[in-house]
Amino acid sequence: MSHHTVSAPVLIIGAGPSGMVSALCLARRGVDCVLIERRPGLENHPKAHELSARSIEILHELGLGHGELSAEASPEEDAAKILFCGTIGEEFGCIDLRANGVGRKYREHLEAPMPYLNLSQVELEKLLRGRVSASPRIQALHHHQWESFEQDAEGVTSRITDRATGETFSVRSQYVICSDGAGSRSRKALGIEMKGPDKLLDVVNAYFQADLRRVVRTRGKLYFIFSPKAPGSVFIAHHVEKRWVFHLPVATPHEKIEEYTPEVMQKKIKAALGRDDVDIEITSMSHWRMTAQVAERFRSGRVFLVGDAAHRFPPTGGLGMNSGIGDAHNLAWKLAMVIERRAAPRLLDSYEAERRPVIETNCDESRLNFERMSEVAEAFGIEVEEAQWVNEKLASSTMRALPAPLRAWTERQVQHYGESILSRYHRDPSVRERVLAAIAQQRSHFDRIGLDLGYTYEEGALLGDGTRPPEVDDRVSSYLPSTRPGARFPHFWLDGNRRQRGSRSMIDYGASILLLGAAVEALPADLEALEHVEARHGVRLFRLGAADIPACHRAAVHALAQIEQDGALLIRPDGHVAWRQQRGVTLSVELIASIVEQVYGV
């Protein structure tokens, strides 16, 4: 047993997406960290698959190019389609996110060529791990397990076990980030409880590799299956030609998870495909419990929770992993500023103040999306609660006690009845109309630009300017750009129709940006001192008057930034607006120092 101690400003527990993004964000700020992960290598079983517009933006800031991210993602046209089916070859309806101007809506507000990516978490983790391995500021220790920590006034001492050798050692850090997943051992050690329902559904899933181009009628990314032979199941096409995940609800406690062997899952997959002639090679299986929970607090002293350690959502909406990436991006620069002594420790209080409202909204929307899926079944005339009761009875000990032939006959009768209900779609135009209307109502489940880009921090590291947030007709699917303090600084083109230089290109995770209108003048006595304001205050000046902006486009740029020619605003390292004065600004060192002190503390 070893008793040596490793020192680093930050220890990160868990090397999933939120943990690795935390490490990369800290490295971008010049802060060293130790990143530990209990797994010896990357997990090959896919989990999340949806990368949001905001996450793409964050990863791009960290150096992951758009081409690199999209290389293993499914084609854009596939990622835009969500199918509702009997079996996968019997389609009832489709949501196409490129239809009705939705794609244009995203393109208007993003510099990235894609508004979202259908990218397996496994593939994303490969990219992130490559960046982590290449960073001299990140000491990544795989096959290492966190055991315990002790906090004091100066820092945290954590005990770590090398799972390969059994040796233990200590990591001494100023702060700890817990990103060790939904079952977070570190969160439990802190005594932080999760609030919200701890069981909505139990699910078994199987990852299999297959080329199903000739099986599906329409290429897409999600296929919701209503066939009574595999009711409530979902196919996720991580890539139609390569990678698929099949999710099947389990009626626990009447059914046992362990009963769903690879052989059983193969039969269920073929039933949901409506084909027996397809070779299914299951690579791995897993099970998970759907919950809708948020931690009662995101911090205990010098220890912070991010990602699934802080919140667990239903997957409906694809908000879980993306929320974790947002957590990491919000927290890391604040830790860095405090460690660098550019900010007071009270800045760290803003992490939970800012992220909790966003997380609670995302949790509520995810649960609502899950519950609203029953509207499609009800449109067929299916009573969802009765159907659940029937499934539970079929899995009950009473049914299991019946002779196998009688049990099989009963199951066939139930399936025939279910198929007769689904057939109403083809026989009754009014049923078809109801089903298509119910499917259309699921659009906000997937069209969520408001949740992706429109969330605004109302309290935290910002100075309100007394203005009200923009009013939208739908907070999920609508977005109005804003530079109101707390909002994400919007994308627009600085060079007009050339479309080569976006407004967010000025944002740098390593500094705050003071955006100055073209007519803002500095106090003559401060001209020399302003040249050193970045070194002293971590604030970089960006003058619209000196930028390469076509003269004919300059007025439009000020309007898009929502300031007058003599206005200014401060953009935080994470790209959110911290302060805004729309007119009447006279630039001085005193003004900058005052803003920085009020926003960040000194």
Q: From CA 159, how far away is CA 157, in angstroms rounded?
A: 7
pTM of the model as a whole: 0.95
pLDDT in tens, 135-176: 999 999 999 999 999 999 999 999 999 999 999 999 999 999
pLDDT in tens, 75-99: 999 999 999 999 999 999 999 998 8
* CATH code assigned at 310: 3.50.50.60
Q: Is residue 478 part of a domain?
A: yes
In this predicted structure, what is the pLDDT of residue 406?
Answer: 87
Q: Is residue 386 part of a domain?
A: no
Q: How many CB atoms lie within 10 A of CB 545?
A: 13
Q: Is residue 257 part of a domain?
A: no
Q: At 9, phi and psi to the nearest 5?
A: -60, -35
Find the distance separating the first CA and the last CA of the chain, reported in whole Å. 43
- Whether the predicted pLDDT of 277 surpasses 70: yes
Residues 6+ apart with CB under 8 A from 4: 169, 170
Residue 158, both tokens? 């954590």
Q: Is 87 helix (H, G, I), strand (E, B) or coil?
A: coil
Residue 305: beta bridge partners?
178
- Whether the predicted pLDDT of 455 surpasses 80: yes
Total domains in the chain come to 2
What confidence category does residue 450 fall into, taking pLDDT thresholds of 50, 70 and 90? very high
Q: Is residue 475 part of a domain?
A: yes
* CATH code assigned at 493: 3.40.30.120
pLDDT in tens, 433-444: 999 999 999 998
Q: Which of 235-239, 417-421, 457-461 comes out lowest in average pLDDT?
A: 417-421
Q: Is residue 215 part of a domain?
A: no
In this predicted structure, what is the pLDDT of residue 201?
Answer: 94
Q: From CA 268, how far away is CA 230, in angstroms rounded?
A: 6
- Whether the predicted pLDDT of 134 surpasses 90: yes
Picking from 332, 350, 368, the residue at the C-terminal end of a domain is 368
Tell me what the pLDDT averaged over the chain comes to: 93
Q: From CA 599, how far away is CA 465, in angstroms rounded?
A: 13
In this predicted structure, what is the pLDDT of residue 189?
Answer: 97
300 & 173 share domain: yes
Helices 384-394/404-422 angle, 10° precision? 160
163 & 54 share domain: yes
For the chain, count helices (H), then strands (E).
21, 26
356 & 470 share domain: no
What confidence category does residue 2 fall into, taking pLDDT thresholds of 50, 70 and 90? low
Note down the domain range covering 325: 5-71+119-192+296-368
Q: Is residue 586 part of a domain?
A: yes
* Mean local confidence (pLDDT), 271-282: 92
What confidence category does residue 516 fall into, taking pLDDT thresholds of 50, 70 and 90? very high
Report the percentage of the chain scoring pLDDT > 70: 100
Q: DSSP characters for 162-222?
A: ETTT--EEEEEEEEEEE---TT-HHHHHTTPPEES-S-SEEEEEEEEE---TTT-SS--SE
335 & 478 share domain: no
Which of 279 and 334 is assigned the larger pLDDT? 334
Q: Exposure of 471 by Cβ count < 10 A (0-12 exposed, 13-18 middle, 19+ buried)?
A: exposed
What confidence category does residue 338 fall into, taking pLDDT thresholds of 50, 70 and 90? very high
What confidence category does residue 427 fall into, taking pLDDT thresholds of 50, 70 and 90? very high
- Whether the predicted pLDDT of 602 surpasses 80: no
pLDDT in tens, 281-329: 899 999 999 999 999 999 999 999 999 999 999 999 899 999 999 999 9
* Mean local confidence (pLDDT), 216-227: 96
What confidence category does residue 41 fall into, taking pLDDT thresholds of 50, 70 and 90? confident
Picking from 349, 368, 387, the residue at the C-terminal end of a domain is 368
- Whether the predicted pLDDT of 111 surpasses 90: no
* Residue 192: HSE in the Cβ half-sphere, 13 Å Cα cutoff: 24
- Whether the predicted pLDDT of 407 surpasses 90: no
44 & 174 share domain: yes
* Mean local confidence (pLDDT), 222-251: 94
Picking from 345, 368, 391, the residue at the C-terminal end of a domain is 368
18 & 154 share domain: yes
171 & 301 share domain: yes
- Whether the predicted pLDDT of 476 surpasses 70: yes
What confidence category does residue 458 fall into, taking pLDDT thresholds of 50, 70 and 90? very high
- Whether the predicted pLDDT of 1 surpasses 70: no
Q: How many CB atoms lie within 10 A of CB 342?
A: 18
Q: Is residue 233 part of a domain?
A: no
* Mean local confidence (pLDDT), 339-351: 96
162 & 19 share domain: yes
Q: Which of 234-248, 338-352, 355-369, 541-555 comes out lowest in average pLDDT?
A: 541-555
Report the percentage of the chain scoring pLDDT > 90: 79
470 & 352 share domain: no
Q: Is residue 582 part of a domain?
A: yes
- Whether the predicted pLDDT of 531 surpasses 90: no
What confidence category does residue 386 fall into, taking pLDDT thresholds of 50, 70 and 90? confident
